[in-house]
Structure 1
């Protein structure tokens, strides 16, 4: 028997919503327009939850921030959740820059000292801000990898900003959230299914590199 020869399976928002309501035991033919609106809201809440549970590697992007002399802090692009790695680039040469906590940045005695930045701190406000020390004494670039917010779900005929390997997880997660509102008797079962699906998806969602531990040489007396 021949297979389809295609790899295009990607349910849109309407199909994800239908699958999730079916898992709740709700006939999709009886749903009103408000049910779809409620489900889309729950999907966006699900995406917010995922942002707190770890790195969504498909939402990682490589960006460049231009630094100007004398300016110590900058607004990060809308939708930036966090930065996972960064370097300072000057004349096509990259140098490591370390991230410090708010407390560590606060304890720097002279925050106006200028030079080539070697530390940064992120203030994760509604619009996140990044602070550098030393304050740039010339024009530099920070090249960084950012974790970004998933695209909002606004219409049911859209595609979800989720890759194929997370398809079951998004349906399971939405079903669990919908059961809280429409099928509370199924919540425990559906949430257990969701947690198992999330565990499978998140364990496979990484940068493909195992932790490397390299021993240091010991001076033996």
Structure 2
């Protein structure tokens, strides 16, 4: 028997809403039903921001450094900065040199004695505002390292028009539908809320576990030498 030969299955926002209502044993009867469901879907996407790092939303940003300027704004869709380095140029190649930076917290940054000193940056602090900022220490002198490059987690895009597709990879389709059904049940059929919550938590547990990088980890014991006593 023949197969379809395609792997392009996707759902429009309207279809996601219909699927969620059907899981609640309901159908959307009015424009307000669609509106309240879309609002719940956007809240669901916000809730996913507390579920960890979603690899499909990790992006690379290249920022031109300015001599003496230590703080830089991130893109409007940035939720957090994961790792950063300074570079002698943009892109990749044998003529580009990258030096990794160490991420520090607010307390460590506050303890630095001379935050405006210039030189080769070695550390960075992320202030997690609505639009996070990246602050380097030391402030770049921009004579050697001219670019700041960092990987950041982007926010999931809003649902928008009902004819849109979601900004979600196929692995998360099941938990997106079950999550919206759970959110809707709290407003429409509270008797199903607990049941739908269990289904949603099971679906998103599997999706988040799968959304990882398959790399090896190595743990080496630390060796200590006594004083011979």
- Secondary structure at the aligned position of 1:195 is classed as helix
Matched residue of 2:50: which SS? helix
Which residue of the partner structure matches residue 105 of structure 2?
101
Alpha-carbon distance, 1:212 to partner: 2.7
Superposition map of 1:104-123 within 5 A: 104-123=108-127
Report the counterpart of residue 69 of structure 1 in structure 2: 67
Aligned residues: 219
In the TM superposition, residue 20 of structure 1 has moved relative to its aligned partner by 0.3
- How far apart are the structure 2 equivalents of 1:20 and 1:144? 37
* d(CA) in 1 for partners of 2:27, 2:133: 46
Q: Distance in 1 between matches of 2:216 and 2:52?
A: 17
CA displacement at 1:211 relative to structure 2:
3.0
For residue 185 of structure 2, the aligned residue among 168, 175, 179 is 179
> Residue 168 of structure 2: which of 162, 165, 187 is its match?
162
Deviations 1:81-111 (A, max 9, x none): 0111111112510111001101110111111
1:127-156 Cα shifts (integer Å, max 9, x gaps) = 211111101111521111110001111111
Q: Structure 2: how far apart are the matches of 1:37 and 1:130?
A: 37
Q: List 4+ stretches of structure 1 deviating above 2 A.
A: 214-221
Q: Which residue of 1 aligns with 2:198?
A: 192
Map Cα deviations across residues 21-57 of structure 1 (whole Å, 9 max, x no partner): 00111024xx211111111111111111111110011
Call closer, same or farther: CA 1:217–1:90 in 2, change over 3 Å. Answer: farther
Within 5 Å, give how 1:29-48 maps onto structure 2.
Answer: 31-48=29-46
How far did 1:11 drift?
1.2
Match of 1:53 among 45, 51, 54: 51
Matched residue SS, 1:191: helix
Match of 1:152 in 2: 158
Which deviates more from structure 2 when the two are superposed, residues 92-101 or residues 82-91?
Answer: 82-91
Q: Is this contact kept in 1: 2:79–2:131, CA < 8 A?
A: no
**Separation of aligned partners in 1, 2:72 and 2:106:** 15
SS at match of 1:86: strand
After TM superposition, give the deviation of residue 218 of structure 1 in Å: 5.8
Q: CA deviation at 1:4?
A: 1.6
Contact 2:55 2:211 in 1 (8 A): yes
* TM-score, structure 1 as length reference: 0.94
1:24 aligns with 2:24: yes
Structure 2 residue runs of 5 or longer lacking an equivalent are: 90-95
What secondary structure sits across from 1:53 in the alignment?
coil
Shift of residue 208, structure 1, vs aligned partner: 2.0
